[in-house]
Structure 1
Amino acid sequence: MTGGQVVVDEPLPLGAGGRGAADAVRFLRDCQSQALTVRWVPDDDVLPFDTGLLHHLPPPAPRTAPPGGSDGAAVWRSRYAYGLLYHRRGPDFVTVMDRRDPSASARFTIDQPSLLGAFLTVQEPTALDALDAPHREAVSLLADERLVLVTQGWAVALPPRLNRWPVPCTSV
Structure 2
Amino acid sequence: MSGLPTAVPHRLAGRRVEVPGLLDVGGQGRDTAEAVRFLRECAGLGLRVSWRAAGQPSYDARALRHLPPPDELPGDHEELAAWRSGYAHGALYHRRGPGFVTVMDRREPGTAARLTLDHPDLLAAFDLLLDPTPLDALDPTGREAAGLLAAERLALVTGGWAVALPPRIRRWPVPCTAI
TM-score where L is the length of structure 2: 0.87
Deviations 1:95-145 (A, max 9, x none): 000000024321000000000000000000000100011111011011000
The equivalent position to 2:25 in structure 1, one of 1, 5, 14, is 14
1:9–1:40 Cα contact (<8 Å) kept: yes
- Give the distance between the partners of 1:137 and 1:2, measured in 2 at CA: 40
- Give the distance between the partners of 2:116 and 2:174, measured in 1 at CA: 19
2:84 corresponds in structure 1 to 77
Structure 1 residues 76, 152: CA separation in 2 closer, same or farther (over 3 Å shift)? same
Alignment identity in percent? 55
Letter in 1 for 2:35: A
Structure 1 residues 40, 14: CA separation in 2 closer, same or farther (over 3 Å shift)? same
Structure 1 residues 156, 170: CA separation in 2 closer, same or farther (over 3 Å shift)? closer
Unaligned runs of 5+ in 1: none
- Give the distance between the partners of 1:118 and 1:4, measured in 2 at CA: 31
Whether 1:54 aligns to 2:76 is no
Q: CA RMSD in A?
A: 2.0
The equivalent position to 1:164 in structure 2, one of 157, 168, 171, is 171
Correspondences of 1:1-150 after superposition (within 5 Å): 1-44=12-55, 46-62=56-72, 66=75, 70-150=77-157
What is the Cα deviation at residue 70 of structure 1? Answer: 3.9
- What is the SS of the residue equivalent to 2:20? coil
Aligned length: 168
What is the Cα deviation at residue 3 of structure 1? Answer: 1.4
Structure 1 residues 62, 121: CA separation in 2 closer, same or farther (over 3 Å shift)? same
- Give the distance between the partners of 1:171 and 1:39, measured in 2 at CA: 23
Instruction: Judging by fraction of residues, say which structure has more strand.
Output: 2
1:96–1:107 Cα contact (<8 Å) kept: yes
TM-score where L is the length of structure 1: 0.91
What is the Cα deviation at residue 169 of structure 1? Answer: 6.3
Unaligned runs of 5+ in 2: 1-11
- Give the distance between the partners of 1:145 and 1:74, measured in 2 at CA: 24
